[in-house]
A and B are shown apart, each in its own frame.
Chain A
């Protein structure tokens, strides 16, 4: 554990505790040093954790961090507050969505902060095995869909009529053609772990397009960046909230709105993606542990703008997770104070 940069080594924890005791004995003239990760013993003595003294000890919280920066922003702020205000030991695990769910029954993972759908996993782990619980919305609204750069919409405004007549896209198929899509237009899909209906939509709408998988979010983002640099057309599977949207101007090409059941036949879908109310999921073990961190995560809720602000600081402004979280926490006390147990 000591080498995990997100936790504190036992030696350092002891030193920190020692320093606090010294400073307390020294007449209290110097404020206690701020500790990034108070251990169970050090935490109780630290000034910041005094408020939490009446609560049960927090213990260790294992947060799954899924591979997109919006999620990293959730984890940055939640992790920062759990450490600083509740004296928890936070362990972040960089894993993908499916592996995160697999971690619930074994205790490898306590919390998923931003879950996008995954009805199959919910059915298994929440309903059938009862090893996880749905803690409701985290406040973020996810939109998945087909996006193009804004300059393209400006030049070809009728592409927006896809909302009523998706076949308008066929008019532009030649412009979205690449070396990978043969004689069809290319819709660039992203990370293999993301949910996609694109082939079903191509079939359902009768589009002259081919799904090309970029293979990773980084590959998609790099392709978007290159297309915007060169002012070339590109059609991508994309989602918001997303830190990258602050760097490039993308417009959502809406299709006929989603209605329940319209995407039931995966190979033939005649509607857009459903809106995603992103939710929090925790392991049953964690939910029944009595940790104040559970109550905190139950109450955690913020907006897409909040998340984008933190995510942009992490990516574009080169801040560390903790620095970006601190900046947001300092600026928005009323928001996070409502989450405190």
Chain B
């Protein structure tokens, strides 16, 4: 990760002059606000023309689904093919007994990673079985397998093309941006409209979300091959195909392996949302548990997802590794790699046959199930009852002190004043070009007639990002300076990133009610880990020579942080801010489910009520436009996007873990 982060070159430094300009802009804006408040506002209307037009599109699709050639000859067969694939993979997995699957997973880890990983994999899978979620985990695995296979099948060739062709890269990058910022919720409604409910819709929803990193990282890998190497091959008379096959692909192998790994992690992160269109599995378990307010059951399914993520990560991590040495040490034993692989194959075969002969069945024995739900329920109930009174003050304080004032300013200012201010900020911290993009994005929000809700959402995003950065920088710096803190934070970060946010919504709801605050809390929990890691990484990367020099000059601890480490890690801080914005935005829709109102709620209701389809689609595009705007303000260099692809929304932790393991 570090080498990739190093390719980012921020074009600017936030100099004192810029701070002064920003302050001046702020003062001007506030004066204009006081004078003009209430003029040129754009109040929300539920029956605006844009929404009605979009509803018309939906009616057309509904009416033409069975007759239009595009549906009959293109989309229909796609749906049938994916459904068929789902059937095949499902029956393959259900033929193998649970013992057989354990053996295969263990053997894979043994053959390609290490015996320690094999034990970890088997232990994790056994734990899933004991928690009583074996069948659901297999259902999830089928969904992941299908969507990842299709993502890679499409994504890797596109990635290679993007890696070798600048024009194609320029063409596809905004599309990938769109795919990643567009909330998954937003395309569920159109997807079920076109592909109906069933495996096809779930697989495609997952694919849309999981494919961009496959394309981005592959392209990055190809581009990472030194130009001199390619030129040398060409001068020796290698054809284009030879350069690709013999030079670029082998050198980029490790990075492409990372693409596979990231695609899997991304796919795993949306299974709960896919459950809303009847994708069976662990996601469904979580949704059903939450509906019944069963916290323990939701956490149990969440733990199974974390374990599954760990298993898949550890097994696929090897694909990006440099490969095993020829001789492997297991304790005092020295085993040749080839022998180890034969042993692994034997284990897999014996496991599959043994499982079949012992008629162990495709599901884990129910008698061994252990329930951890009750103690979890009791514990969270105690927390709810004990702290309910105290949390009110915090919620009301943040709402009245931060949210309400910002929201009032944004929604009661003239719309053009807000656009001018945002473009001004972009021009100061970034470039004129960025300012133009920001202004265009905001004007489009006006044209979509979602302005007021967009400003409400923007308020929550601003507060969430500020809180995320504050917490993230403190924890990141602390972890970088203290190995114990780092070691303690790492597994917590891993869990916070992999555990579906739905899981902790129940206690958050009990403590803070369905409010904007609860939504902000969820967004902060979701985004802080990535920021912590990036900050920690950046601060650790500060050259030891500089630190020594500062120490010799008598810098105090605070001076060291403020004057040396943070300024030197500026690049990482910028990436972290940008990443924080993207992550917070990803949670906006989920916030709609817990009382955040605004665009998130519009998207959710567009998915669930026919009449609100148009409003939902408009709101979803509004979220993407907000994302583009914030992205341009917080970052502005050409290479930035590749960073987001690699850092991903979920994979940061697992990557940096691997990096440290390999180091």
Contacts and interface: CB of A to CB of B under 8 A. Distances in A.
Contact of B611 (A97, A106, A120, A315): A120
B67 to A, nearest CB: 12
Interface of A: 1-5, 9-12, 15, 67-69, 93-99, 102-103, 105-106, 108, 120-121, 124, 178-180, 182, 188, 191-193, 212-223, 225-226, 229-230, 314-315
A132 B45 CA distance: 33
Contacts, number: 168
Given A98-B608, A193-B608, A214 B514 contact: yes
B601 interface: yes
B461 interface: no
B291 A11 contact: no
A67 B604 CA distance: 14
B243 interface: no
A226 B135 CA distance: 34
Nearest to B613: A98
B139 to A, nearest CB: 5
B37 interface: no
A189 to B, nearest CB: 10
Q: Which A-B residue pairs are the 8 nearest by beta carbons?
A: A192-B605, A193-B608, A2-B94, A214-B514, A179-B399, A222-B509, A215-B593, A219-B514
Nearest to B598: A213
Interface string B329-349: 000000000000000000000
Interface string B581-612: 00000000001111111001100110111111
Interface stretch (B231-239, B274-282, B303-311): B274-282
Contacts of B94: 2-3, 9, 11
B148 to A, nearest CB: 17
A98 B610 contact: yes
A98 B65 CA distance: 17
B198 interface: yes
B292 A315 contact: yes
17 contacts: A2-B91, A5-B139, A9-B94, A10-B91, A15-B359, A69-B292, A124-B62, A179-B516, A179-B517, A215-B514, A215-B594, A217-B291, A218-B291, A218-B293, A226-B511, A230-B388, A314-B292
Contacts of A193: 605, 608-609
Nearest to A227: B513
**Most chain B Cβ neighbours within 10 Å, of A9, A10, A218:** A218
Contact of B138 (A3, A93, A221, A315): A3
B395 interface: yes
Given A5-B135, A214-B595, A103 B196 contact: yes
B604 A108 contact: no
B87 interface: yes
Contacts of B93: 3
Given A218-B291, A219-B594, A99 B192 contact: yes
A212 B516 CA distance: 10
B247 interface: no
Given A3-B135, A11-B95, A226 B595 contact: no
A226 B597 contact: no
Contacts of B404: 182
B287 A94 contact: yes
A283 B607 CA distance: 22
B290 interface: yes
B22 to A, nearest CB: 30
A218 B515 contact: no
Contact of A180 (B62, B294, B515, B611): B515
A3 B513 contact: no
A105 B62 CA distance: 10
B41 interface: no
Given A99-B277, A213-B595, A214-B594, A222 B138 contact: no
A192 B604 contact: yes
Given A3-B280, A102-B196, A180-B516, A222 B611 contact: no
Contact of B601 (A12, A103, A215): A215
Interface in B188-237: 192-193, 196-198
B463 to A, nearest CB: 13
Contacts of A15: 359
A121 B514 contact: no
Contact of A179 (B135, B280, B284, B515): B515
Contact of A192 (B362, B515, B601): B601
Given A5-B280, A225-B510, A102 B135 contact: no
Given A4-B139, A229-B385, 14 more contacts: A1-B91, A3-B139, A5-B135, A10-B91, A68-B291, A95-B197, A192-B601, A192-B609, A215-B596, A215-B601, A216-B594, A217-B291, A219-B594, A230-B389
